[in-house]
Amino acid sequence: MFNLENKVVIITGGTRGIGFETAKSFLENKANVIIFGSKEESVKKAKEELNNKVDGYYPNLNNYEEIEKTIKEIYDKYGHIDILINNAGMSDNKKIEDIKSEDFVNIMNLNVNAVFNMSKAVIPYMKEQNKGVILNTSSMVSIYGQPSGVGYPASKFAVNGITKSLARELARYNIRVNAVAPGIIKTDMVSSLPKELIEPLIKTIPLGRIGEPKDIANAFLFLSSDMASYITGVILQVDGCAYN
């Protein structure tokens, strides 16, 4: 459906949750998939679960030189880089008085600096090709905020700013830049939460359910494909109309 055959896609945070489901979906649509994870063992495990049909790397996303070297290795192997999905991230829900400065810095490093580093590393290759797609994982809290854990929504507001600004800067090179803003998604983290916390949240969602990782993967598939060839600079909410 999405005509992604032989496209090369890099997915950060691709070893679990939304990233892992996205890797599966791109494989099903015949793309060449490269997953990035935080540790060698998590990358190896994810590769095995995907029947070793993907490549895997674990560079430090806050070390630009390390990322640049890894991206060149991927380009030299495949000859092109078509899609980057900046999905790696971390959340936090501490009250402001409980957040340490290093907690805030860590969130910004992974949720914002890593997006910058990865994008900066792939853009020269996409410019040379005169085409490419960069997709970022935002969040519904980038639109609504959240009652505690200010670092997480702050980082996702920044991701939206990067998305919209790069979309304007790179359009002349036929590089599209968009973001997906998930709502409450059934990941390991959400599944571990008590029912008494989750059920009231579900009642606020007009569609009457929390999302599945596949819902987000489908949004990434669409935005990566030629079906979205005239869409750039968009923050696509995939949240069942949560809190709207």
- Active-site residue set: 152
Distance of CA 80 to the CA centre of its chain: 20
Say how many CA atoms lie within 13 Å of 6 toward its Cβ. Answer: 3
* CA pair distance 52, 60, nearest whole angstrom: 22
Residues in the chain: 244
* CA pair distance 1, 31, nearest whole angstrom: 12
Beta-bridge partners for 36: 12, 57
Beta-bridge partners for 175: 132
* CA pair distance 14, 86, nearest whole angstrom: 9
* CA pair distance 185, 211, nearest whole angstrom: 4
Beta-bridge partners for 223: none
Residue spans of alpha helices (H) in 29-170: 40-49, 64-78, 101-108, 114-129, 141-144, 151-170
* CA pair distance 149, 152, nearest whole angstrom: 6
Cα dihedral 13→14→17→20 (10° resolution) = 170
* CA pair distance 13, 9, nearest whole angstrom: 13
